[in-house]
C-alpha cells in the first residue's frame, strides 16, 4: 500500500498532528516557565532577605552607657563611646546602615552630622568593603 | 599444494565481491571526507572505518562478524542495540551545553519546536512510500538532525535499519554546509537576514542555570516518558556542569566518557552496514527521505521565524529557525555565516546556539513521542 491510503491506513495523519502538537506545546510551556524562572527566584530571594533584615533590625539592647545629654559634637569621645554601645551586638565590624538603624531605634538626634564628625576625627574608621569599626574608643 | 589452495580459498580476497568492494570504497570516502575535508570528523571517521572492517568478508560461524554471537564487535554493538551509547553521548552533550543563551531568550525555544515539524512531514512521506510504520518512524527521526537520537529510536523500532539510517543521519549532518544555506537564502529576504538580535541578553543567574535542568527533565520526561533514556542523562550532565560541585565528573562526562561512547558507537554502526543489508532499494529510499527530512526541518524553522515576526514587536532574525535542528554546532555556525554574508556586523552565533540547544531537547521529545506511538 502506498500514497495517501497508506498514510490513512497506518494512522499517519493522527500521529503527525498529535506529535507535532505535543512537542510544540511542551516546548512552549518550558519556554514560559524559563521566562518566569528569574522572577520566581527573585521573589523567594526577596522574601529571604526581608526575613533576615527583620532579624537584623530587632531593637538594639539597652546601651551599656548612659544616653548623651549634652551636644554630641561637643565631646566626640563620649559620643563615640555611646554610639559604640549601641552597636556592640553587631560585632567589631559593621555597616553604616546598621549604625543608622541602631541610632534611629535609640532616637538619637542628628545622627548623620555626628557620624560625619566621628569619621573625620578617626573614631569611626573604614575597614574596607563598606564596613566600619570603632577606633580609640 | 592443496593446503595452499585451501588457504587461498579461506582468505578474504577469495570471498570478496563487488558489493563488499563498493561498501569499502564508501567507507574510504567517509574517512577522506572526515580527514581531508573536516566534515564532522568525530562521527565520520569511526563510521567510515567501521564500514571498512564490517565489509571485510569472512567465514560465517567463527564468531567474527558483528551479527554473530560471541564476537567482539557483537559485544560492542550491544551498546547500539540497547540504546546505551546514545544515552552516554547525551550525558556528555548535557555536560558540554551552555543554556544561558536559551535562558536569556526563551522565545527562541519555539525555533527548536518548529524545526521538529520536519520529522512529522517525513513520517508521512515514508508511510506514503510504503515503509512500515516503525520503519517510517525511524526514518522520520533523521529530520531531528541528531545522530544519537536517530540511532536510539531506530534500535527500538527498526533495528535492521540502524546501518542505513545512521549513515544517512550522519552524512546529512556532515553536509549541513551544503544543504542548509541554499534553503536559508531561498526562504528569507536580504532584509530579514540583516535583522540584528539584541546585543545584550538578560544576565542569567547561577540559580536559574541550576533550576533549568530540574525543570526541564520534569517537564519533558513527564510529557514523554519514553524520552527519559535521552533527556534524563542530558539534563543530569548539564546539572553536573552548572552545579560546580562535581567538576571532575562533569569534565569526565564531557570528555573521556562521551569520546569513548562516540568511538564505539561510530565503529559499530559503520560495521553494521554490511553490503547485503545496506545495498538495497530501501537504503536508497532512506537516503532520499533523509534529505527530505533535513530540508523540511530547516524550512520549518525558517518559516516559524517569519511567522513569529508577524506578532513580535522586536523582530528576530528568521535565519535562527534553521538552527532549530539538533545538529550542534554545525547548523548554528552556518546560520551565523549566512547572516554575516548579508551583514558582516551581524553576530548570530550565540542566539543560534540557543536554538540548537532547544532543538536537541525537541528532537529527543519527538523520539519519545514516536516510540510511544509505535510501540
pLDDT band at residue B231 under the 50/70/90 scheme? very high
Contact A30 B205 (CB under 8 A): no
The pLDDT value recorded for residue B198 is 80
Task: Kindly state the average pLDDT of the residues B292-297.
Answer: 91
Q: For residue A43, give how far its alpha carbon lies from the nearest alpha carbon of chain B (Å).
A: 13
Instruction: State whether B361 and A28 contact (CB < 8 Å).
Output: no
Q: Is residue A106 part of a domain?
A: yes
Question: Of A3, A11, A28, which is closest to B113 when you measure between CB atoms?
Answer: A28
Q: What is the ipTM of this complex?
A: 0.85
Q: Band of the pLDDT at B201, cuts 50, 70, 90?
A: low
Side-by-side strand order, sheet with A131-134? A94-95, A131-134, A124-128
Q: What is the pLDDT of residues A54-82, one digit of tens each?
A: 655 555 555 555 566 667 777 888 888 88
- At A68 the three-state DSSP class reads coil
Query: In angstroms, rounded to a whole number, what is the distance separating the alpha carbons of residues B22 and B28?
Result: 10
Is B139 inside any structural domain? yes
**In chain B, pLDDT over 90 holds for what percent of residues?**
58
Residue B179 in any domain: the answer is yes
Is A8 within a domain?
yes
Segment B131-149, tens digit of pLDDT: 999 999 999 999 888 889 9
Q: Which domain holds residue A32?
A: 3-56
What would the pLDDT profile of B56-81 be if each residue is shown by its tens digit? 988 777 777 888 888 888 899 999 98
Is the same domain home to A46 and A86?
Answer: no
Kindly determine whether residue B107 and residue A31, on different chains, have CB atoms separated by under 8 Å. yes
Q: B68 CB near a chain A CB, below 8 Å?
A: no
Give the DSSP letter of residue A126: E
More confident residue, A92 or A34: A34
Number of structural domains found in chain A: 2
Domain range spanning residue B181? Answer: 115-195+229-374
Q: Do A80 and A34 lie in a common domain?
A: no
Model pLDDT, residue A67:
62
Q: Is A61 a domain residue?
A: no
Residue A3 has pLDDT above 90, yes or no: no
* pLDDT tens digits for range B187-196: 999 999 999 8
Cβ contact, residue pair B215, A27, below 8 Å: no
Residue A27 lies in a domain: yes
Residue A116 has pLDDT above 90, yes or no: no
Is residue A95 included in any domain, yes or no? Answer: yes
The number of angstroms, rounded, from the C-alpha of B279 to the middle of its chain's C-alpha atoms is 22
**CA–CA min distance B359, chain A (Å):** 10
pLDDT for A77: 84
Phi, psi of B247 (to 5 degrees): -55, -35
Closest CA to B148 of B291, B269, B271, B278: B269
Residue B368 has pLDDT above 90, yes or no: yes
Q: Are B344 and B129 in contact (CB under 8 A)?
A: no
Cα–Cα distance, B30 to B26 (Å, whole number): 6
Non-local (6+) Cβ contacts of B140 within 8 A are B119, B120, B122, B123, B126, B289, B293, B370
Closest residue to B130, CB basis, from A1, A19, A30: A1
Q: Is residue B17 part of a domain?
A: no
Q: Kindly state whether residue B340 falls inside one of the protein's structural domains.
A: yes
Q: With an 8 Å Cβ cutoff, is B211 touching chain A?
A: yes
Count structural domains, chain B: 1
Give the model confidence (pLDDT) of A36-60 as tens digits.
988 888 888 888 776 666 655 555 5
Q: What is the pLDDT of residue B39?
A: 80
A71 within some domain:
no
The reported pLDDT for the residue numbered A58 is 53
Parallel/antiparallel/unpaired status of strands A131-134 and A94-95: antiparallel
- In the predicted model, is pLDDT for residue B51 greater than 60? yes
Report how far residue B56's alpha carbon sits from residue B283's, in angstroms, rounded to the nearest whole number.
20
User: Is 90 exceeded by the pLDDT of residue B42?
Assistant: no
Residue B185 binned pLDDT confidence (cut-offs 50, 70, 90): very high
Query: How would you class B60 by CB atoms within 10 Å of its CB: exposed for 0-12, middle for 13-18, buried for 19 or more?
Result: exposed
Say yes or no to pLDDT of B113 above 90: yes
Cα distance from B361 to chain A (closest Cα, Å)?
Answer: 8
> CA-CA distance, B342 to B102, in Å (whole number)?
24
Query: Percentage of residues in chain B with pLDDT exceeding 70?
Result: 99
Q: State pTM to two decimals.
A: 0.77
pLDDT single digits (tens) B206-230: 899 999 999 999 999 999 999 999 9
DSSP assignment letter at B99:
-
**pLDDT score for B232:** 95
pLDDT of residue B366: 94
The alpha carbon of B84 is separated from its chain's Cα centroid by a whole number of angstroms, namely 15
pLDDT, mean of residues A88-100: 82
Checking if the pLDDT of B14 tops 80, the result is no
> Of A10, A27, A31, which is closest to B133 when you measure between CB atoms?
A10
Residue A97 has pLDDT above 70, yes or no: yes
Amino acid at each position: 500500500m502506498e500514497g495517501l491510503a497508506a498514510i490513512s491506513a497506518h494512522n499517519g495523519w493522527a500521529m503527525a498532528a498529535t506529535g507535532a502538537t505535543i512537542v510544540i506545546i511542551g516546548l512552549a510551556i518550558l519556554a514560559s516557565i524559563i521566562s518566569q524562572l528569574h522572577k520566581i527566584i527573585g521573589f523567594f530571594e526577596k522574601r529571604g532577605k526581608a526575613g533576615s533584615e527583620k532579624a537584623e533590625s530587632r531593637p538594639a539592647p539597652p546601651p551599656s552607657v548612659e544616653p548623651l545629654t549634652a551636644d554630641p559634637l561637643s565631646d566626640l569621645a563620649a559620643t563615640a563611646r555611646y554610639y559604640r554601645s549601641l552597636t556592640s551586638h553587631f560585632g567589631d565590624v559593621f555597616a553604616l546602615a546598621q549604625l543608622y538603624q541602631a541610632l534611629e531605634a535609640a532616637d538619637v538626634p542628628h545622627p548623620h552630622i555626628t557620624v560625619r564628625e566621628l569619621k573625620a576625627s578617626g573614631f569611626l574608621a573604614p575597614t574596607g568593603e563598606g564596613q566600619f569599626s570603632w577606633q580609640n574608643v | 599444494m592443496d593446503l595452499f589452495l585451501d588457504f587461498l580459498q579461506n582468505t578474504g580476497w577469495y570471498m570478496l565481491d563487488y558489493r563488499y568492494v563498493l561498501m569499502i570504497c564508501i567507507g574510504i570516502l567517509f574517512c577522506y571526507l572526515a580527514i581531508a575535508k573536516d566534515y564532522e570528523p568525530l562521527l565520520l571517521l569511526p563510521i567510515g572505518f567501521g564500514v571498512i572492517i564490517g565489509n571485510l568478508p569472512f567465514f560465517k560461524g567463527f564468531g567474527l562478524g558483528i551479527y554473530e554471537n560471541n564476537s567482539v564487535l557483537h559485544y560492542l554493538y550491544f551498546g547500539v542495540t540497547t540504546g546505551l551509547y546514545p544515552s552516554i553521548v547525551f550525558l556528555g552533550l548535557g555536560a558540554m551545553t551552555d543554556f544561558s543563551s536559551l535562558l536569556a531568550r526563551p522565545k527562541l525555544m519555539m525555533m527548536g519546536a518548529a524545526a521538529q515539524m520536519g520529522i512529522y512531514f517525513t513520517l508521512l512521506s515514508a508511510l506514503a512510500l510504503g515503509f512500515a510504520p516503525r520503519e517510517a518512524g525511524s526514518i522520520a527521526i533523521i529530520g531531528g538532525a541528531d545522530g544519537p537520537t536517530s540511532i536510539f529510536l531506530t534500535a527500538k523500532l527498526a533495528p535492521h535499519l540502524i546501518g542505513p539510517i545512521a549513515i544517512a543521519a550522519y552524512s546529512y549532518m556532515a553536509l549541513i554546509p551544503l544543504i542548509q544555506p541554499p534553503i536559508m537564502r531561498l526562504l528569507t529576504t536580504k532584509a530579514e537576514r540583516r535583522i540584528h538580535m539584541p546585543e545584550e541578553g538578560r544576565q542569567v543567574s547561577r540559580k536559574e542555570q541550576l533550576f533549568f535542568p530540574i525543570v526541564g527533565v520534569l517537564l519533558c520526561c513527564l510529557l514523554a516518558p519514553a524520552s527519559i533514556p535521552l533527556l534524563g542523562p542530558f539534563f543530569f550532565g548539564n546539572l553536573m556542569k552548572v552545579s560546580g560541585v562535581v567538576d571532575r565528573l562533569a569534565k569526565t562526562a564531557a570528555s573521556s566518557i562521551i569520546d569513548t561512547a562516540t568511538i564505539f558507537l561510530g565503529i559499530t554502526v559503520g560495521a553494521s552496514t554490511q553490503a547485503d543489508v545496506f545495498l538495497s532499494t530501501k537504503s536508497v529510499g532512506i537516503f532520499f527521505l533523509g534529505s527530505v527530512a533535513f530540508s523540511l526541518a530547516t524550512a520549518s524553522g525558517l518559516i516559524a521565524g517569519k511567522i513569529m515576526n508577524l506578532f513580535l514587536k522586536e523582530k528576530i532574525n528568521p535565519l535562527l529557525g534553521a538552527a532549530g535542528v539538533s545538529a550542534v554546532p554545525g547548523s548554528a555556525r552556518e546560520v551565523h555565516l549566512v547572516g554575516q554574508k548579508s551583514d558582516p556586523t551581524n553576530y548570530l552565533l550565540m542566539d543560534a546556539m540557543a536554538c540548537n540547544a532547544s532543538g536537541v531537547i525537541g528532537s529527543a521529545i519527538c523520539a519519545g513521542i514516536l516510540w510511544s506511538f509505535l510501540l
